[in-house]
């Protein structure tokens, strides 16, 4: 069985990190290593994580001397991952016991697949009205699409999907998937854009989509827990932030190893979707006035 590395970036997550680590401990896949990087937390996150690393050999812990930020903390983990396959588990998310084994089975069976992901349960832990029921998110647009130009066209629709209220069934669900570590050597880690860290996962997934197939496992194997104060919950999609996300993907295309003509075609797709997004955003803003 190939080695799989779980990368867990943590920061001030003492309230919920224990459940995340326990979901990793409960995995039925035997060849799994768990790497935790604490980003200079000011609560007792580090002590909780250290308790796991001391009792379980497959868990290891790195303490950052100063706060790196979400992107740099993730990249520090990716740079040290030893597994043939890797996944990033946010510090407040959960996975089912068969998560790793189910996704690895799919990846081993399809050598053209670069990433496998499952359906996701989204729980509103302390966000919104009390008792708000969870939502099952399912993203099918890239499942089994073999042509990279078609994958690029579909992946480029992320912002439009948000504008058209297709959330939560959007591309970034695949960020909670398992990918081939060889992809890191090809595309590198996550990158900031002019708007900061927002949308870095979209550009990164967009780059992966240019490299290989995405495969969906039609079962709920992951759970995203939305909480007050969590990073993604603080993001507000202004026009400037949408522009930053879009430019992040344009940079990805320029960095890719595609032929110039294909780069131009994909950039044209991005430009078209960006224009549609800005137009729809403006119409909604004017309507709200």
Q: Report the domain count for the chain.
A: 2
Give the single-character DSSP code of 212. S
Give the C-alpha separation, 108 to 96, whole Å: 20
Examine the domain organization and report whether 116 and 52 are in the same domain: no
SS3 content of the chain, % helix, strand, coil (to 5): 45, 20, 35
Above pLDDT 70, what percent of the chain? 93
Structure tokens at 229: 């104060």
Rounded to the nearest integer, the mean pLDDT of the chain is 90
Q: Using 50, 70 and 90 to split pLDDT, how confident is the model at 162?
A: confident
Q: Using 50, 70 and 90 to split pLDDT, how confident is the model at 239?
A: confident
* Domain extent for 180: 94-289
Examine the domain organization and report whether 83 and 151 are in the same domain: no
Structure tokens at 231: 């990073």
Examine the domain organization and report whether 62 and 180 are in the same domain: no
Integer angstrom CA distances of residue 205 from 19, 98, 175, 194, 213: 27, 23, 7, 18, 11
Give the C-alpha separation, 6 to 82, whole Å: 10
Q: What are phi and psi of 194, to 5 degrees?
A: -65, -20
Most confident region among 160-174, 229-243, 255-269 by mean pLDDT: 255-269
DSSP lists the bridge partners of residue 143 as 214
Beta strands (DSSP E) in 200-283 are 213-226
Q: What value does the mean pLDDT take over residues 23-47?
A: 96
| CA nearest neighbour of 195 among 244, 246, 158, 236 | 244
Examine the domain organization and report whether 102 and 80 are in the same domain: no
Instruction: Please spell the DSSP secondary structure of 27-52, one letter per residue.
Output: -S-SSEEEEEEE---SSSHHHHHHHH
Examine the domain organization and report whether 87 and 181 are in the same domain: no
Examine the domain organization and report whether 62 and 190 are in the same domain: no
Structure tokens at 219: 């079962």
Q: Using 50, 70 and 90 to split pLDDT, how confident is the model at 226?
A: confident
Q: Please, what is the end-to-end C-alpha distance for the chain in angstroms?
A: 58
Final residue before a domain boundary, out of 40, 69, 92: 92
Final residue before a domain boundary, out of 69, 92, 115: 92
| CA nearest neighbour of 196 among 157, 160, 254, 248 | 248
Examine the domain organization and report whether 86 and 106 are in the same domain: no
Instruction: Report the SS3 class of residue 97.
Output: coil
pLDDT surpassing 60 at residue 289: no
Give the single-character DSSP code of 118. E
Final residue before a domain boundary, out of 92, 116, 133: 92
9, 88 Cβ separation under 8 angstroms: yes
Q: What is the CATH number of the domain that holds 19?
A: 3.90.550.10
Examine the domain organization and report whether 180 and 264 are in the same domain: yes
pTM of the model: 0.92
Q: Which residue has the higher pLDDT, 229 or 197?
A: 197
**What is the predicted pLDDT for the residue at 236?**
66
Q: What is the CATH number of the domain that holds 127?
A: 3.90.550
Examine the domain organization and report whether 13 and 28 are in the same domain: yes
Examine the domain organization and report whether 109 and 146 are in the same domain: yes
36, 53 Cβ separation under 8 angstroms: yes
Examine the domain organization and report whether 58 and 160 are in the same domain: no
Examine the domain organization and report whether 116 and 171 are in the same domain: yes
Q: Are strands 94-95 and 85-88 parallel, antiparallel or unpaired?
A: unpaired
């Amino acid at each position: 069985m190939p080695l799989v590395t779980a990368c867990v970036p943590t920061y001030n997550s003492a309230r919920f990190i224990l459940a995340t680590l326990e979901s990793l401990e409960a995995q039925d896949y035997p060849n799994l290593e768990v790497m935790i990087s604490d980003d200079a937390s000011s609560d007792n996150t580090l002590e909780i994580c250290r308790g796991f690393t001391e009792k379980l050999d497959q868990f290891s812990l790195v303490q950052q001397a100063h706060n790196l930020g979400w992107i740099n903390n993730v990249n520090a983990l990716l740079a040290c991952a030893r597994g043939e396959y890797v996944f990033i588990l946010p510090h407040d998310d959960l996975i089912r016991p068969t998560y790793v084994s189910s996704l690895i089975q799919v990846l081993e069976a399809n050598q053209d697949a670069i990433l496998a992901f499952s359906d996701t349960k989204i729980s509103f832990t302390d966000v919104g009205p009390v008792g708000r029921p969870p939502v099952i998110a399912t993203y099918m647009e890239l499942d089994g699409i073999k042509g990279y130009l078609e994958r690029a066209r579909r992946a480029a629709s992320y912002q439009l999907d948000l504008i058209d209220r297709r959330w939560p069934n959007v591309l970034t669900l695949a960020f909670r998937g398992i990918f081939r570590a060889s992809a890191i050597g090809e595309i590198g880690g996550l990158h900031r854009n002019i708007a900061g860290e927002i949308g870095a996962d979209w550009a990164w997934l967009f780059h992966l989509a240019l490299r290989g197939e995405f495969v969906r496992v039609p079962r709920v194997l992951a759970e995203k827990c939305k909480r007050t104060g969590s990073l993604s919950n603080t993001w507000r999609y202004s026009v400037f932030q949408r522009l930053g996300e879009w430019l992040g993907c344009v940079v990805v295309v320029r960095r890719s190893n595609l032929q110039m003509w294909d780069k131009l075609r994909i950039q044209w797709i991005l430009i078209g979707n960006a224009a549609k997004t800005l137009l729809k955003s403006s119409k909604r803003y004017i309507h709200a006035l």
